[in-house]
Structure 1
Amino acid sequence: MRKLLLVCLAMLLSVNLFDGSLSKARAQNFDLSIYNTADLSDVVDPIMKFFGTIGGAGFVNTAKLHNFGGFDISARVVGVMIPDEYSGIAGLVPDQSGALTSPFKNENLLAFPFLTASVGLFGNLEVMARLFHYPLGDDPLRGGVTLLGGGLKYGLVQTGLIPKITIIGAYQALMVPDEFDFGTVKIASLKAFASKDFLIFTVYGGGGVDKTYLTVDFAGLPADFNGDYNATNSHGTVGFGATVFPFVKVNGEYNFGTFNSFTLGASVSIR
């Protein structure tokens, strides 16, 4: 019995992977010798870029930073669109019959909810935090996949009538229950955004790079499969926001890259 190298990633991508009709034993019953190292890298690359897309979306609803002590608490949903060519990547996930299939097979859109918070600091700085949690099945004791991260925003331009400009550096890590732990997944992001307010409306845009790192360290795998993998995903963003009530803002954005995505959000913001 061997634990699948990407079992945690596959679980996150396949809602019904570990329901009552599929045992843990079957989920772990894979012969990784069907892949050579190069083939596995080709399989891992789009999945890591997928995670980079999830972790890299929904960072802002404006490039305007909060004053010292000001804050923003947001609920956001990131929807990732799956291109047709990725539905046919090599099989990693067992279907209900136990046959291996692609984690993206028959999936056109996958959505993930985030909680985000930002707090203004001195010197055109703002700190941010992000949280995503995905339960593994219906049993609350089983735990789930958690993406936890933080970042720092610096306002390059925050005064005057010209558009506000902000750069962001962020770091996020994926955490899984011990029984499914196969290594570590981390996402490092560097982005820049500009925005302009028009009465109650905000138009913003920008772009950046998200680099996903996967370190596999599992004794049950062949030695060639343990090691470090990484993938770089660049994308651009255009977005629109509106203040619908005092201190309440909604926004929507579209991100284009290897995987296109959109973000819908609502926030309470006190500047």
Structure 2
Amino acid sequence: MRKSILLLALLAMPLVKAQDFNQLLISGVADAERYANDYLAPVTEAGIYSISNGWYNTADAKPLAGFEISIVGNITGFKNKSDKKTFVLDPNDYENLDFVDNPGVARPVSTGLGEIQGVRVFIEDENGLGREEFDLPAGLAAEDFNFVPSGYIQGSVGLIKGLEVKARFLPKLKFEDSAEIGLFGAGIQYEFTKLLPADKVLPIAISAVIGYTNLSGEYDFTDASGIDGSNQKVEADITTWNFSAVVSTKLPVINFYGGLGYISGKSEADILGEYIVTSGPFQTTYNDPFSVNNDVSGVNANVGFKLKLGFFRINGEYNMAEFNTATLGVNFGFR
């Protein structure tokens, strides 16, 4: 359960579960970095799609001084994403890492989203005298997690005709007194139909939306890494952009909306501190050993509804992309 909490908190934490991280560095920093990038890529990709959503719940831009405060939650599922739960590990691409069973032969292993367990690997020196064996880690699905959640508070306010600005944030949250995570973002929406003379009688609205989101955090695992050293931590940063065209109905109580857009994101996680490897055939000291990076982009589309009951509103939508996301918003607004 601990691995799940940390992974959900920072999208990079399976690396630093005590025995996993110790074993990775035993294989050498080059092998550890290669494996970590492949293992975490689907996790960060799911996270990027998750935090990129929820920027709008209508194409009808708010009038001057109109505002809305929202609590937005996202659930990004991967239960049926078998292609994201594994990657092929080819020992020929690694300097030291190999399988105990059928060495030298490539095979699928678990990503941070997967569930394959009990894959035994080994490392040994050039003379075959020093040898270390360990199991590769499984992922979230092995602990009955099949989604990546995200959430934040979002506000929007109308300015000049057709223009609406937005901001979102999640105050710094701490996990287990060693990890913290926070989120902020800004967006803009412009309704083109506000330019038309018949705007008041048109049954639909059409808008363009641009939204930027940043998720950052860190985890200090000096006391839990299982490896000697100091100031051991991971610092992670995820940035995303969402560019969307949106259309919605303009009715008094319930409305429906849909959007077509493009999402682009980047994740970076730096493993920092001093690590003194005292077991295995490659005993040495590493300082700030490696980084894990991933770039993601793709088209997304969504459909949703918004129910307006005076000051209180509620909306729900389903986003279809490389990772599908369900979004629910509870909103409080004026005009």
- Given the two structures, how large is their TM-score scaled by the length of structure 1? 0.78
- Number of equivalenced pairs: 253
1:154 is matched with which residue?
190
Quick one: which of 43, 62, 70 aligns to 1:47? 43
Q: Is the contact made by 2:271 and 2:290 (CA closer than 8 Å) also made in structure 1? A: no
Which amino acid is 1:163 matched to?
I
Given that residues 26 and 98 in structure 1 are in contact (C-alpha distance below 8 angstroms), is that contact kept between their aligned partners in structure 2? no
Provide the residue aligned with 1:125 in structure 2.
Answer: 163
Deviant stretches of 4+, over 6 Å = 221-224
Q: Is the 8 A contact 1:170 1:190 kept in 2?
A: yes
Task: Give 2:261's aligned residue.
Answer: 208
CA offsets, 1:77-102, max 9 Å, x none? 21111134133354559x9x996122
Q: What are the within-5 Å matches in structure 2 for residues 76-155 of structure 1?
A: 76-82=72-78, 83-85=80-82, 86-89=84-87, 90-91=110-111, 100-105=137-142, 106-132=144-170, 135-139=173-177, 142=178, 144-155=180-191
The 8 Å contact of residues 8 and 181 in structure 1, kept in 2 or not, is answered as: no
Pick the structure with greater CA Rg.
2
Moved more, 178-187 or 107-116: 178-187
Post-superposition shift, 1:197? 2.4
Q: How far apart in 2 are the matches of 1:145 and 1:232? A: 23
Task: Tell me the secondary structure at the aligned position of residue 331 of structure 2.
Answer: strand
- Residue in 1 aligned with 2:304? 239
Distance in 1 (alpha carbons) for counterparts of 2:151 and 2:238: 19
How far apart in 2 are the matches of 1:35 and 1:100?
Answer: 13
Unaligned runs of 5+ in 2: 88-109, 118-133, 221-232, 274-285
Q: Aligned pair in 2 of structure 1 residues 121, 240: CA closer, same or farther (>3 Å)?
A: same
Q: For 2:258, give the aligned amino acid.
A: G
Q: d(CA) in 2 for partners of 1:42 and 1:218?
A: 16
Given the superposition, is the C-alpha separation of residues 196 and 235 from structure 1 closer, same or farther in structure 2, using an over 3 Å criterion?
same
Letter aligned with residue 328 of structure 2: L
Q: Tell me if the contact between 2:169 and 2:184 (Cα under 8 Å) persists in the aligned partners.
A: yes
TM-score, structure 2 normalization = 0.64
Cα 1:64–1:100, aligned 2, differ >3 Å: closer, same or farther? Answer: same
Structure 1: stretches of 5+ with no match in the other structure: 1-6
Give the Å deviation of 1:218.
4.5
Query: Structure 1 residues 236, 108: closer, same or farther in 2, change over 3 A?
Result: same
| Structure 2 residue matching 1:198: 3-state secondary structure | coil
Partner of 1:69: 65
* Higher mean C-alpha displacement, 42-51 vs 249-258: 42-51
Greater shift, 123-132 or 104-113, is seen at 104-113
Q: 1:33 to 1:227 in 2, by over 3 A?
A: closer
SS in 2 for 1:64: coil
Deviation at 1:260, TM superposition (A): 1.0
In the aligned structure 2, how far is the partner of 1:231 from the partner of 1:88? 18
